[in-house]
């Protein structure tokens, strides 16, 4: 009876949430199956289910609904998110029938399919652990067409929209969910009901959903084991992660087809590496972009821009980048600039370069309707715009007034767009900011109508299908264009909106138009961690908050919290108070300077993490659960984070407090400020008055540092400080350092591996070098918590008399031969 009431309730909720067709049709019992050698295909009365083992650890599940004649109706097999070479890959597998089940096996996974219900269970072959079992048969029906969102109803709906689809899986009482991209709310997404629909969310609230990006990918964690699911569907999708019912989680879409990839763990790290094998990794950034950035809507005219950089220099506030928001343009026409505000743009940029800083400028997708303006004229002449089914351009208001919008799904448009950046590169501009790319339109639905039509590989697809990948294609066009124009140098492109795969087109992102409040400061950590676990490592938020004006305490705490996050940019809206670190004088200025200096000191460590992210897909900023998956205390932790695996940061995120609780996971930790050690697996009440940013270093770490410069390249990597944190416990501890030229794609590099070994009462260091850049000439080692007995570099013991090893107080110097 209870179950019946629950089901009825569920149905009502589903109707309310526009899932009225949830139970309308399902794949039900299997009437036939065939093993093609590449995949296993199961036939039901209404549909075909295709199970492809992409690798031993990744299973792709697709459902093609039959047409009236009973024929197979899979949609075209391509993806904007998944790399082409993966789509056509498959691993060896066997398929056997036993009783009423079929068992499909790779080397590491077993998929059990129940012939009566077509329910799928995916299990680990080693221990039979069930990762993601269907709760109900996969369901589908006609897509939801929103009549009110049709601009030209007379044309009907000419699009092939697939089906609205639903997958429902069993939810364990102890299951947690992470990822799902850029989301507000809690870090653990269990109990959440979330939507993927890229939205211009100006001044969004701390629980508002959806906002700018869509990443239909999540990591499930139960019984200490992780798995991942990527739902490769670009329509508006929904993720009900135990919100409606504690026994099930549901992912569904308004169109397309069921097409998801299951990824095995059991570690979160392995899941992420499978996910990035599917969707790609971030290329290395130019080194300057990991410094401190200053932005405002907008710095202008030219002398103000120069003055900001000069003020940073005179205040000894390290600064690498100054940003030009929309006011630099000539009446918001992209690829132009206002000649009265910037009479000599190149001269201004040169001047900023001479002070060691770089310039990034904004380029929006909306092109002003303005005959005679070259971008508009070229678009009209070539029909490069997004159009209605009758061929007329979609026109909508954005900053410049009425605009047309490039159709970035068309390769010719992408290459045309990419070349436009030459205009800005010729002025010396160093990087680009693609904003408003949801795409945002100033109307009641904040975007284009459903029947706007896109090229989409010649399929002419609707905005319903293409909306969530508009930004992805725009960033692709920008990234590929700039890459092509920069002769082997690394592009820098910031995007507001995005979809899974954004990271492979660089895809640095920030969390949009937040608010100057402590609630929003607090929100930055779960948001960054969600993005980090969705394959987007280079993330940040507007420091100080965008909407409203930050007071000095908030700004100071925000600077501290952001100092060790991947993308560090202060930004604020038009007509708010100034938010530069010097805005309120001392003591705030000095405290913010100290936080920024800490980042600049740790640059070699940070840059190494960027390399790890682009090479191995490990996030730069990590939730504690990433490294301590067996520790339940970490499962919902969202007010502290790890920078790599060695540094733990626990910023103060509340007003008017002088302390906070810090949880340290197992092991011995060093307080970075005092050098004192603290035992982990314990929560501490830690004193943190305004000038203190609580930072801790794991025992056995060797942290690479350099002297603080006023910009990242002011101090070279010839001399590297190595801060050694002696292990309290016996064992082997590995740290690394990666150094390259910081600007070219195929740079030479040095890759050092430091091994600290503690045992038999002594500790030794072994240093090994890979690569042949030979940039690093000297290490200066400082020791915390003891000393080492022996140092071995490149296989040779380092001794005092061979002149490569100096003892100067607590510092030892090693010259590299
Ligand atoms: C959008 C951006 C914001 C920018 C403004 C003006 O609101 O999110 O960062 O300052 O547009 O370009």
**Range of weakest confidence among 393-397, 424-428, 798-802:** 798-802
- Counting atoms of ligand 1 from 1, which one is nearest the CA of 513? 8
Q: What distance lies between CA 808 and its chain's CA centroid?
A: 43
48 within 8 A of 41, measured Cβ to Cβ = yes
Instruction: Transcribe 42-81 into DSSP letters.
Output: EEESSEEEEEEEEETTEEEEEEEE--TTS---PPP---SS
Q: Measured between alpha carbons, how far is 404 from 368 in angstroms, rounded to an integer?
A: 7
- Report the nearest atom of ligand 1 relative to the CA of 325: 12
DSSP one-letter string for 82-118: S-HHHHT-----EEEEETTEEEEE-SSEEEEEETTT-
Task: Indicate if 740 belongs to the active site.
Answer: no
H/E/C letters for each residue in 255-290? CECCEEEEEECCCHHHHHHHHHHHHCCCCCCCHHHH
d(Cα 419, Cα 123) in Å, to the nearest integer?
Answer: 49
Q: Report pLDDT for 246.
A: 97
Q: How many residues in the chain?
A: 817
What is the CA(329)–ligand 1 centre distance, in A?
14
Residue 709 Cβ < 6 Å to ligand 1: no
Query: Which pLDDT does position 251 carry in this prediction?
Result: 97
State the pLDDT at residue 798: 75
Pocket test for ligand 1, best of 297, 361, 511 (most atoms within 8 A of CB): 297
Identify the pLDDT of residue 366. 98
User: Which are the contacts of 529, defined by CB distance < 8 A and separation ≥ 6?
Assistant: 178, 187, 621, 622, 623, 638, 641
Is there an atom of ligand 1 within 6 Å of 513 CB? yes
DSSP class per residue in 681-716: SEEEEEE--TT---EEEETT-EEEE----SSTTTS-
Given a cut of 60, is residue 740 above it in pLDDT? yes
The residue whose CB lies within 8 Å of the most ligand 1 atoms, and thus the one to mutate among 436, 543, 570, 574, is: 436
Q: Are 682 and 696 in contact (CB under 8 A)?
A: no
Query: CB of 512 closer than 6 A to ligand 1?
Result: yes
Q: Which residues contact residue 549 at a Cβ distance below 8 angstroms, ignoring those fewer than 6 apart?
A: 516, 572, 576, 577, 579
Confirm if 65 and 285 have CB atoms less than 8 A apart: no
Distance CA 625, CA 176 (A): 11
Which residue's CA lies nearest to atom 3 of ligand 1? Answer: 513
Please determine, for residue 2, whether its predicted confidence score (pLDDT) is greater than 70. no
Per-residue exposure over 122-134, b if at least 16 CB sit within 10 Å of its own CB, e if not: bbbeeeebbbbeb
Q: What are the angstrom distances between the C-alpha of 546 and each of 117, 510, 512, 573, 610?
A: 51, 11, 8, 5, 26
Residue 815's pLDDT is: 81
Residue at token pair 């499930």: 220
User: How many Å apart are CA 450 and CA 197, to the nearest integer?
Assistant: 13
- Average model confidence (pLDDT) for the chain? 93
Torsion from C-alpha of 289, 290, 296, 302, nearest 10 degrees: -40
User: Which H/E stretch holds residue 176?
Assistant: strand 176-179
User: What pLDDT, on the 0 to 100 scale, is given for residue 553?
Assistant: 98
Active site (annotated) includes residue 438: yes
d(CA 321, CA 438): 25
- Taking 70 as the threshold, does the pLDDT of residue 809 lie above it? no
Mean pLDDT computed over 260-269 = 97
Q: How far is the CA of 736 from the centre of ligand 1 (A)?
A: 38
Ligand 1 pocket check for 200: Cβ under 6 Å: no
Structural contact between residues 264 and 227, judged by C-beta atoms closer than 8 angstroms: yes
- What's the rounded Cα separation, in Å, for the pair 751 and 735? 11
pLDDT at 303 > cutoff 70: yes
How far is 233 from 101, CA to CA, in rounded Å? 29
Name the residue with higher pLDDT: 57 or 813.
Answer: 57
Identify the active-site residue in 338, 430, 513, 638: 513
Please say if the pLDDT value at position 543 is more than 50.
Answer: yes
- CA 331/CA 326 separation, integer angstroms: 9
Q: What pLDDT digit, counting tens, does each position of 209-235 carry?
A: 999 999 999 999 999 999 999 999 999
Classify the C-alpha dihedral 491-315-563-306 as positive or negative: negative
- Rounded to an integer, what is the distance from CA 27 to the centroid of its chain? 34
Residue 4: pLDDT band with limits 50, 70, 90: very low
Average pLDDT over residues 129-134: 95
SS3 181: coil
pLDDT (average), residues 637-642: 98
| β-bridge mates for residue 76, sequence order | none
Contact yes or no for 257/62 (Cβ under 8 A):
yes
Residue from 295, 326, 513, 576 whose mutation best tests the ligand 1 pocket (most atoms within 8 A of CB) = 513
Match 């993330």 to its residue by tokens. 539
Q: What are the pLDDT digits (tens) for 343-369?
A: 999 999 999 999 999 999 999 999 999
Ligand 1 contacts CB of residue 325 (under 6 A)? yes
Is the bond into 362 cis (omega within 30 degrees of 0)?
no
Looking at ligand 1, which atom is closest to the CA of residue 298?
A: 10
The answer to whether the CB of 440 falls within 8 A of the CB of 398 is yes
pLDDT > 90 in the chain, percent: 87
- Of the pLDDT bands very low, low, confident and very high (cuts 50, 70, 90), residue 14 is very low
- Spatial CA neighbour of 376 closest among 391, 395, 361: 395
517-to-546, 575, 651 alpha-carbon distances in Å: 10, 17, 15
Give the three-state DSSP class for 312: helix
CA distance 669 to 663: 11
- Secondary structure string (H, E, C) spanning 392-445: CECCEEECCEEEECECCCCHHHHHHHHHHCHHHHCCCCCEEEECCCCCCCCCCC
Mean pLDDT confidence for 724-730? 95
d(CA 161, CA 466): 11
Q: How far apart are CA 578 and CA 203, in angstroms?
A: 18
Residue nearest to atom 12 of ligand 1 (CA): 326
**Ligand 1 atom nearest to 573, measured from its CA:** 10
308 touches 317 (CB < 8 A): no
* Nearest Cα to Cα of residue 532 among 720, 766, 737, 268: 268
| 70 Cβ contact partners less than 8 Å away, ≥ 6 residues apart | none
User: What is the reported pLDDT for 19?
Assistant: 41
Query: 46 near 25, Cβ under 8 Å?
Result: yes
- pLDDT at residue 22 above 50? no
Query: CA–CA separation, 454 vs 383, rounded Å?
Result: 12
Instruction: Report the pLDDT value the prediction gives residue 216, as an integer from 0 to 100.
Output: 98
Number of CB atoms found within 10 A of residue 484's CB? 14
pLDDT at residue 803 in the model = 46
Considering the candidates 134, 364, 435, 671, report the single residue annotated as catalytic. Answer: 435
CA dist 34 and 43 (Å) reads 9
490 DSSP assignment: P
What backbone phi and psi angles, to 5 degrees, belong to 402? -60, 135
Q: What is the mean pLDDT of residues 789-806?
A: 68
Strand-pairing partners, residue 806, are 813
CB 545 within 8 A of CB 515: yes
β partners of residue 659: 687
- What pLDDT does residue 152 have? 76
pLDDT surpassing 80 at residue 806: no
């Amino acid at each position: 009876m209870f179950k019946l009431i629950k089901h009825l309730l569920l149905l009502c909720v589903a109707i309310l949430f526009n899932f009225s067709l949830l139970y309308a049709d399902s794949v039900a019992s299997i009437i036939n199956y065939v093993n093609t050698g590449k995949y296993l295909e199961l036939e039901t009365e209404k549909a075909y289910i295709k199970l492809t083992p992409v690798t031993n650890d990744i299973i792709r599940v697709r459902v093609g609904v039959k047409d009236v004649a009973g024929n197979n109706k899979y949609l075209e097999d391509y993806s904007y998110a998944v790399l082409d070479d993966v789509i056509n890959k498959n691993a060896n597998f066997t398929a056997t029938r036993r009783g009423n089940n079929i068992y499909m096996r790779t080397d590491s996974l077993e998929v059990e399919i129940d012939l009566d219900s077509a329910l799928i269970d995916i299990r680990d072959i080693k221990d039979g652990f069930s990762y993601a079992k269907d709760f109900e048969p996969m369901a589908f029906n006609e897509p939801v067409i929103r009549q009110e969102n049709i601009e030209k109803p007379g044309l009907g709906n000419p699009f092939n929209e697939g089906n609205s689809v639903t997958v429902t899986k069993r939810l364990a009482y102890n299951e947690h969910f992470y990822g799902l991209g850029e989301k507000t709310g809690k870090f653990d997404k269990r109990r959440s009901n979330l939507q993927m629909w890229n939205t211009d969310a100006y001044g969004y609230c701390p629980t508002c959903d959806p906002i700018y990006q869509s990443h239909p990918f999540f990591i499930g964690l139960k019984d200490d084991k992780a798995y991942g699911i990527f739902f490769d569907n670009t329509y508006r999708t929904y993720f009900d992660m135990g919100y409606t019912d504690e026994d099930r989680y549901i992912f569904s879409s308004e169109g397309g087809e069921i097409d998801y990839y299951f990824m095995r763990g059991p570690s979160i790290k392995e899941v992420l590496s499978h996910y990035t094998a599917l969707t790609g990794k971030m290329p290395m950034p130019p080194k300057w972009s990991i410094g401190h950035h200053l932005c405002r809507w907008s710095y202008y005219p030219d002398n103000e821009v120069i003055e900001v950089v000069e003020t940073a220099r005179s205040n000894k506030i390290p600064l690498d980048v100054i940003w030009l928001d929309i006011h630099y343009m000539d009446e918001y026409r992209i690829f132009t600039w206002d000649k009265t505000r910037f009479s000599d743009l190149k001269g201004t940029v040169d001047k900023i370069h001479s002070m060691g800083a770089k310039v990034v400028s904004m380029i929006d997708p909306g092109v002003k309707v303005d005959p005679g303006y070259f971008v508009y004229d070229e678009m009209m002449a070539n029909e490069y715009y997004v159009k209605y089914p009758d061929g007329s351009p979609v026109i909508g208001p954005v900053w410049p007034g009425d605009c047309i919008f490039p159709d970035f799904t068309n390769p010719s448009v992408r290459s045309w767009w990419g070349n436009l950046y030459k205009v800005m590169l010729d002025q010396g501009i160093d990087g680009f900011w693609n904003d408003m790319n949801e795409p945002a339109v100033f109307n009641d639905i904040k975007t284009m109508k459903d029947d706007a039509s896109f090229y989409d590989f010649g399929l002419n697809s609707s905005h319903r299908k293409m909306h969530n990948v508009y930004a992805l294609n725009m960033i692709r066009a920008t990234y590929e264009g700039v890459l092509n124009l920069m002769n082997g140098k690394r592009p820098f492109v910031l995007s507001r909106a995005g979809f899974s795969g954004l990271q492979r087109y660089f895809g640095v992102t920030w969390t949009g138009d937040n608010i100057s409040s402590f609630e929003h400061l607090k929100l930055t950590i779960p948001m960054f961690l969600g993005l980090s676990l969705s394959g987007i490592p280079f993330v940040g938020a507007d420091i100080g908050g965008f909407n409203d004006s930050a007071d000095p305490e908030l700004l100071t705490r925000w600077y501290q919290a952001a100092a060790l996050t991947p993308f560090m940019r202060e930004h604020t809206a038009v007509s708010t108070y100034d938010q530069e670190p010097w805005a309120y004088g001392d003591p705030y200025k000095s405290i913010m300077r100290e936080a920024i200096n800490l980042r600049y000191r740790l640059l070699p460590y940070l840059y190494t993490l960027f390399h790890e992210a682009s090479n191995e897909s490990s996030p730069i900023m990590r939730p504690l659960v990433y490294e301590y998956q067996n520790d339940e205390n970490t499962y919902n932790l969202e007010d502290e984070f790890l920078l790599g695996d060695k540094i733990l940061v626990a910023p103060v995120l509340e007003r008017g407090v002088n302390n906070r609780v810090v949880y340290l996971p197992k092991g011995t930790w060093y307080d970075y400020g005092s050098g004192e050690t603290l035992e982990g697996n314990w929560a501490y009440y830690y004193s943190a008055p305004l000038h203190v940013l609580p930072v801790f270093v794991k025992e056995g770490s060797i942290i690479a540092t350099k002297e603080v410069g006023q910009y990242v390249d002011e101090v070279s990597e010839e001399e590297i400080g190595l801060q050694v944190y002696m292990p309290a416990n016996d064992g082997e501890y590995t740290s690394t350092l990666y150094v390259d030229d910081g600007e070219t794609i195929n740079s030479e590099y040095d890759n050092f591996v430091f091994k600290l070994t503690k045992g038999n009462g002594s500790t030794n260091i072994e240093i090994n070098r890979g690569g042949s850049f030979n940039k690093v000439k000297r290490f200066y080692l400082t020791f915390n918590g003891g000393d080492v007995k022996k140092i071995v570099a490149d296989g040779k013991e380092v001794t005092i008399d061979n002149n490569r090893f100096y003892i100067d107080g607590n510092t030892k110097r090693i010259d590299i031969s």
